[in-house]
Amino acid sequence: MALFESSSDAVVSFGTDGRILTLNPRTQSLFGYREANIPVMMITIVDNPGLGHSLGAVEYLTKPIDWRRLGTALAKYRAAAARVSAAPDTRPSA
């Protein structure tokens, strides 16, 4: 935990469901976000927006991607932040 807290690099940890669990102090200072106010978008094959929103997602998109809708959503949150990051679901498909 000491390395996480004292790192000069931005470090973000994700849960298995894709939610952000923790941000180290450097991440918070670089991006100006605290853990509680990072907008999270879910992009998934599961068509269950209620679940996504209950987990804290501000946007819920299903695959295949509607690129216009994704672009609109990213633009909305990019206006409030200098960067937009994506964390893809890289679990192997069955």
Of the pLDDT bands very low, low, confident and very high (cuts 50, 70, 90), residue 17 is low
> 26-59, pLDDT tens digit by residue?
887 887 766 656 677 788 888 988 888 887 778 8
Residue 82 belongs to a domain: yes
Same domain, yes or no: 32 and 61: no
* Cα atoms found within 13 Å of the Cα of residue 15, Cβ hemisphere only: 8
Asked, for residue 58, whether it belongs to a domain, the answer is yes
> Residue 16: beta bridge partners?
none
Span 21-30, average pLDDT: 79
Backbone angles phi, psi at 14, to 5 degrees: -115, 145
**Same-domain check for residues 57 and 77:** yes
The residue segments making up the domain with residue 46 are 39-87
Q: pTM of the full predicted structure?
A: 0.51
Over residues 76-90, the pLDDT tens digits come to 776 665 455 555 555
pLDDT of residue 1: 61
Whether the pLDDT of residue 70 is over 80: the answer is yes
